[in-house]
Amino acid sequence: MNRNEECWCGSGKKYKKCHLPIEEKMEQYRQKGYIVPPRSLLKAPEMIEGMKKSAEVNTKVLDYVQEHIRPGISTQMIDEWVNKVTYENNAIPAPLNYMGYPKSVCTSINDQVCHGIPSEDVILKEGDIINVDVSTILDGYFSDASRMFVIGEATDNAKRLVEVAKECLEEGLKAVKPWDTLGAVGEAIQKHAEENGYSVVRAFGGHGIGNEFHEDPFVAHVGRKGQGMLMVPGMTFTIEPMINEGVFDCYVDKKNGWEAYTADGGLSAQWEHMILVTETGYEIIAH
């Protein structure tokens, strides 16, 4: 596109004053052999605003769960809260009917790694650890974040896993820098988990997000600096490491095709944020 035309991103600025410098820099990296994102992964300012509004609802829903979760309730109850608060805010729960997923939220408890399906039969009891993963669509824009909850008093082991999993997310976030690659994020997470004697799940990862729930890139939570896609200002993706007490291997329940469990029955913990890569680092969009 012409340097003096309005930038494709809709900022209203001239291309040369907006995305041209970024795209020239990306081209230099491409020539050096880096994997660079296509233009479609660089979000226009209007899209970023839309995702932030979606995330406001997502955060409200997670806050509601945080205030009400307690021993004795079923995970089905969490599903009803999420469904109610989301629709009250004129939004749609993204998981509902997503590729056949039957509920409005994922509730993954103890040895469940992710995609736990809420049920009347799963009653929270003292000592459980549970991930509640909330995703919202508002005006066509997706947001996605998850938190861990420790139900009542849990073992030191369980509490430490939940804490280290949170630190792993924080280490991953610190590694988000424009013009580094995603491998640096995976490396930071893997290092912190393994230093603490834990393992990092390989079979699931973070993902680009925007007008779709799951976009490129796949965000691995293991890796090495220099590997993977270049992080460029304007990209939005999730970081959501699943950290296991024992082995990293998982299996998926054949009865429903969703619920993932640790292969050895050990505990698993996960925290998820959705972020925007900025000129200087990152901004948290959903938490």
Q: Which residues bind ligand MF3 (CB under 6 A)?
A: 95, 98, 101, 106, 115, 133, 135, 144, 207
Q: Write the single-letter amino acid at 124.
A: L
CB 221 within 8 A of CB 242: yes
Pairing mode, if any, of strands 250-252 and 206-208? unpaired
Q: How far is the CB of 68 from ligand MF3 (least distance, A)?
A: 21
Residue 38 buriedness (CB in 10 A; 0-12 / 13-18 / 19+): exposed
Q: How far is the CB of 134 from Co ion (least distance, A)?
A: 10
Q: How far is the CB of 145 from ligand MF3 (least distance, A)?
A: 8
Cβ of 224: how many Cβ atoms within 10 Å? 12
Decide if residue 245 touches Co ion (CB under 5 A): no
Using CB distances below 5 to 8 A depending on partner kind, what does residue 95 bind out of Co ion, ligand MF3, none?
ligand MF3
Which candidate, 268, 271, 270, 75, places its Cα nearest to that of 157? 268
- Residue found under tokens 């994020």: 185
Q: Cα–Cα distance between 284 and 287 in angstroms, integer? A: 7
Q: How far is the CB of 97 from ligand MF3 (least distance, A)?
A: 9
In the list 128, 144, 187, 259, the residue contacting Co ion (rule: CB under 5 A) is 144
Decide if residue 238 touches Co ion (CB under 5 A): yes
Considering only the stretches 31-39, 91-99, 117-125, 235-243, report the one whose residues sit in contact with Co ion under the rule CB under 5 A. 235-243
Q: How far is the CB of 271 from ligand MF3 (least distance, A)?
A: 11
DSSP state for residue 229 in the 8-state scheme = B
Q: Cα–Cα distance between 199 and 36 in angstroms, integer? A: 29
Considering only the stretches 69-77, 124-132, 238-246, 278-286, report the one whose residues sit in contact with Co ion under the rule CB under 5 A. 238-246
Using CB distances below 5 to 8 A depending on partner kind, what does residue 103 bind out of Co ion, ligand MF3, none?
none
Structure tokens at 188: 């930071």
Using CB distances below 5 to 8 A depending on partner kind, what does residue 115 bind out of Co ion, ligand MF3, none?
ligand MF3
Decide if residue 143 touches Co ion (CB under 5 A): no
Closer to Co ion by Cβ: residue 15 or 149: 149
The terminus-to-terminus CA distance of the chain in angstroms comes to 36
Using CB distances below 5 to 8 A depending on partner kind, what does residue 107 bind out of ligand MF3, Co ion, none?
none
Please state the length of the chain. 287
Pairing mode, if any, of strands 250-252 and 273-277? unpaired
Q: Which positions touch Co ion (CB under 5 A)?
A: 144, 238
